[in-house]
Chains A and B, each alone.
Chain A
Amino acid sequence: MRLRGGSGGAGQGWAILGLAVAVLAIAFAIRSAYYELVLTQVLLWAVLAVAWNLISGYSGLFSFGHAAFWGLGAYTVALGLIQFDLSPWLGIPACAVVGGAAAALIGFPTFRLRGHYFALAMLAYPLAMLYVFEWLGYQELPLPMHREAPLRYMQFTDPRVYVVLALALLILALGLSLRVETSRFGMSLLAIKQNEPAAEAAGIDTWRWKMRAIVLSGAFSAMAGGLYAIVLLVVTPETVFGMLVSAQPLILTLFGGVGSLWGPVIGAAVLVPLAEILNAELGAWLPGIQGVVYGVAIIAIILCAPEGVYWRVRDRLRLRQSRRMPSGAETAPAAPAGAERSRTEPAVVRSLQRRSDRDGDALVLRGVGIAFGGLRALDGIDLAVREGSLHGIIGPNGAGKTTLFNVINGFLRPGTGSIAFAGHPLTGLRPHAVCRLGIGRTFQVVRAFPRMTLLQNVVTGAFVGTRDDRIAEQMAVAALDRVGLGRRAEALAAGLTTKELRLMELARALVPQPRLLLLDETLAGLGHDDLGDILGVIRQLRDDGVTIVIIEHTMQAMVQLVDRFSVLDHGRLIAAGQPQEVMRDPRVVEAYLGKRWMERVQSTGA
């Protein structure tokens, strides 16, 4: 598995085991009950931070409301114990159910929101709960003591037992996080973080992955909250639903490193003891010192190392490693990838050849229209793209070209008309579903995942095609070969040229082996030589049997490339046909060069 950097899953597994041993060693080395409590808290907050990172760190949707899950967990255990004499051994698993269900209920409406709105809405949930629990009369809920059956009620006199319990929970959370990180789950979340529309277009069902992530995250947060209640023996709305609880995982993770397995743990290990000990030493005469320390820490980290401690250290180490390596070593890792390549290629080629046998229209639009307010962006578009052809769509800026693509691949729903692809109606399908039917697309502005290698960037597109992550990777390698980037598979996306980025995006769209490719200004911003290279790749794809629709507003390159032209202007299709005849169409010349030019041409011609 090479989906994530050079760090293999097995190595990380050993690291988790190492962490467990280290924590146990510390727990048995320290003799003070107070420090055991601090250690337990470090572990529990680490669980919350790992859970927060699972949804917010990987997908980039920052939750300011994880206290909702933590608090529900704490109250589940406490109320279970008080009202139903429920043993925490059952209460904590029950927290997972409660937390997961609450997360699903919260995620269901809230994922419709983006950016600031998502963050603000998440903030409201725990605060609303805080007041509800106050109103219910649970201002202070002390857990009943059961000295007679410590095992049943998890009320041990030895504080080290709590360390072990919290550690077990943390290991579970880290194990889950590791599995997510090294699978298509994590890759899909990362793709959402970078560019959600692009992820949808690559066939990733973004909504489903987000829901899964938040349910898992809510379950673990609630379990940690439940254990927290057992450890502290008292639950108040303010200590479990309060703003500081929601802020805590965010601060710990940002400090340690967002979107990394170890970031949340690093943050908890540094900040929790620091704040706790400062509070114990100075709390008497500086009552808010803990919050001040957190505030200062988080501001300092944002200003000095905004990516967090983990990434900063890792980037440093990588840099040092690459300096030490001889220059020739850089191409070496590509070799094993080449070996895998030869095995998958025949299958890819075969399936494509089969496709090119068919004839007729691949994509048919009838009377498609869409309006934004008063602006009719598309108006009665009738378009048929022949199977296996290279169809160009040109038009001046604002003609509606990109809107047309957005309507075809499901970002926008047409107000009127119908769209069909190989006989399937597309109208009303979400982008990932459209992608699944075999339509790939690229974007005008390339969005790469800068921290990931080319191969990792491309592999996100392969999840549609296969359920097996290994096969997905082989497909990605094959796609990179098709666009001629096979040798650069291990390069980081951040260092690519414009041409390579365009080709990378092309490869990403190609990975699921689409039958139709929508290319949005793939040629924009390229120099003459690069243009030739990309035109070659596009022609090769057409010859392999892929139907291609390409948007451009520069005519020259298009005339050599396409089989047919459609010309858009002000949302209407004003001409269609062979490149040469379209070029001569007076309406097209007028749309492009203006009326005056047209008149001059006519007058000189006459």
Chain B
Amino acid sequence: MRRTEKVHDTRTALPLSSGTGGEDHAAPNGLHTARVTAARNRRPYRLLTGTRMPFSSTDFLQALAAGITVGGAYALMCIGLGIIFGAMRVVNFAQGDFLMLGMYAAFYLTTGFGALAFLGPYAGPIVAAFLAGPIVFVLGWVLHRFLVSRVTGIGLAQTEGAGGYAQIIVTLGLSLILQNGGLIVFGSSPSGIRAPLARASWEIGPVLLNQARVVSFAVAVGLVAVVYLFLTHTQSGKGLRAAADNSTAAIYMGIDVDRAHRIAWSLGVGITAIAGGLLASSQSFQPYTGFDFVIVMYAGVVLGGLGSILGAFWGGLLIGIVQQMSTLVLPYQLQNTAIFVVFLLIVFLRPQGLFGRLSERT
């Protein structure tokens, strides 16, 4: 099978701004800023032993800052995935594609239809990112009602053999349809939201902080707090956590597990879509972009501990930091490989993650 039309590498994507003063806008995955600063300050950094490190202290701080700010959005998308996995024990391969849908939803809301033009170039992209959530939430609700619920849930979770894989296959199919359907609907050329924030940065000492990323970090953390309160303080949230902990027992307690699953699924894809919407103003994307984030998300969720919401937050943040810090010692093309390696190490050495507990029994 040949897929020549597929543009995979987001790093070859078109720059969002064309020309003057554009050196500060964040290239995909926030690398550009780090490299520009690195070129500016070439101060070699010496350890006490006298060995020369291949990067300067400014590079280090810059990569750390980039990691934390990008990590906010990663943490948010990891929480989306974590809710779904925690509640339903479903490995959702299409999660990255819901992220991509969130990006396009925010894109069309901001630019395509001009619906949010009245909010101006600063608030517009952020409001659009928020609105991407409910849009994808509704789509998720419908998909769960008519498709996902038929292969997941209480009755099917315990079935033998291929039954347990039916859910993976369905999400894989969904992923293929969303990616390739996206190609038909949105086209293959990269798009991006022209947000003035993405081209501006705050300077703290030697470190440049991309304003769009800082704002998205703040928004992400705020949203995480809201989700956390929802899960711990509302009836639906508690039911969801009960269903996640022991779905059979939850049924006996009179909790509508099917409804809890539907909420978890829709909420999970909706939250991830908001994370996508936030990223959309600082990186370009196309219909296959979601897949780049699948491993980012799984690495974050597994690092935090499958099933732990707080763990997913810290896991996502850490993955953002690992991704950005890896560029200090590795060629930037290998930053995703660094994530894979971290991911495999966690899976092998500490499969329960940082915050999880071993629940899988033989």
User: What is A's interface to B at a CB cutoff of 8 Å?
Assistant: 41, 45, 60, 62, 109, 112-117, 119-121, 123-125, 127-128, 131-132, 134-135, 193-194, 196-197, 232, 238-239, 242-244, 247-248, 250-251, 254, 258, 272, 275-276, 283, 286-292, 294-299, 302-303, 306-307, 411, 450
Partner of A254, one of B150, B163, B169, B336: B169
- Provide the B321-353 mask, 1 if CB < 8 A to any CB of A, else 0: 000000000010110110011011001100100
| Chain A residues closer than 8 Å to B160, beta-carbon distance | 194, 450
- Quick check: A272 and B1 within 8 Å, CB to CB? yes
- Quick check: B174 and A131 within 8 Å, CB to CB? no
Q: B92 CB to closest chain A CB, in angstroms? A: 11
Q: How far is the CA of A286 from the CA of B165 in the complex (A)?
A: 30
- Quick check: B3 and A244 within 8 Å, CB to CB? yes
Give 10 nearest A-B pairs by CB, closest first: A288-B180, A291-B180, A295-B176, A288-B183, A295-B177, A128-B340, A299-B173, A135-B333, A298-B173, A295-B173
| Chain A residues closer than 8 Å to B250, beta-carbon distance | none
Question: Known contacts being A109-B348, A291-B180, A411-B362, is A127 close to B295, with CB within 8 Å?
Answer: yes
Q: A381 CB to closest chain B CB, in angstroms? A: 22
What are 16 A-to-B residue pairs whose CB atoms are below 8 Å?
Answer: A41-B1, A113-B348, A120-B343, A128-B340, A196-B362, A244-B176, A250-B169, A286-B184, A287-B5, A291-B176, A291-B179, A292-B176, A292-B181, A296-B177, A299-B177, A302-B169
| Chain B residues closer than 8 Å to A196, beta-carbon distance | 362
User: What is B's interface to A at a CB cutoff of 8 Å?
Assistant: 1-3, 5-6, 8-9, 89, 91, 147, 150-151, 160-166, 168-170, 172-177, 179-184, 187-188, 287, 291, 294-295, 298, 302, 306, 331, 333-334, 336-337, 340-341, 343-344, 347-348, 351, 360, 362
- Quick check: B91 and A292 within 8 Å, CB to CB? no
Q: How far is the CA of A275 from the CA of B288 in the complex (A)?
A: 19
Q: How far is the CA of A288 from the CA of B183 in the complex (A)?
A: 6
Q: How far is the CA of A128 from the CA of B306 in the complex (A)?
A: 22
Question: Known contacts being A232-B2, A243-B291, is A298 close to B347, with CB within 8 Å?
Answer: no
- Quick check: B174 and A299 within 8 Å, CB to CB? yes
Q: How far is the CA of A248 from the CA of B89 in the complex (A)?
A: 24
- Quick check: A124 and B343 within 8 Å, CB to CB? yes
Q: How far is the CA of A117 from the CA of B358 in the complex (A)?
A: 12
| Chain A residues closer than 8 Å to B344, beta-carbon distance | 109, 121, 124, 128
- Quick check: B169 and A298 within 8 Å, CB to CB? yes
Q: How far is the CA of A120 from the CA of B346 in the complex (A)?
A: 12
Q: How far is the CA of A197 from the CA of B180 in the complex (A)?
A: 41
- Quick check: A288 and B347 within 8 Å, CB to CB? no
- Quick check: B360 and A299 within 8 Å, CB to CB? no
- Quick check: B1 and A131 within 8 Å, CB to CB? no
Partner of B3, one of A120, A242, A250, A297: A242
| Chain B residues closer than 8 Å to A127, beta-carbon distance | 295, 336, 340
Q: How far is the CA of A232 from the CA of B162 in the complex (A)?
A: 34
- Quick check: B169 and A238 within 8 Å, CB to CB? no
Q: A198 CB to closest chain B CB, in angstroms? A: 10
Partner of A306, one of B6, B162, B175: B162
| Chain A residues closer than 8 Å to B337, beta-carbon distance | 128, 131-132, 135
- Quick check: A62 and B180 within 8 Å, CB to CB? no
Partner of B180, one of A251, A272, A292: A292
- Quick check: A250 and B347 within 8 Å, CB to CB? no
Q: How far is the CA of A296 from the CA of B182 in the complex (A)?
A: 14
Q: How far is the CA of A114 from the CA of B181 in the complex (A)?
A: 33
Q: Chain B: which residue is nearest A451 at the CB level?
A: B161
Q: Chain A: which residue is nearest B176 at the CB level?
A: A295
- Quick check: A299 and B170 within 8 Å, CB to CB? yes
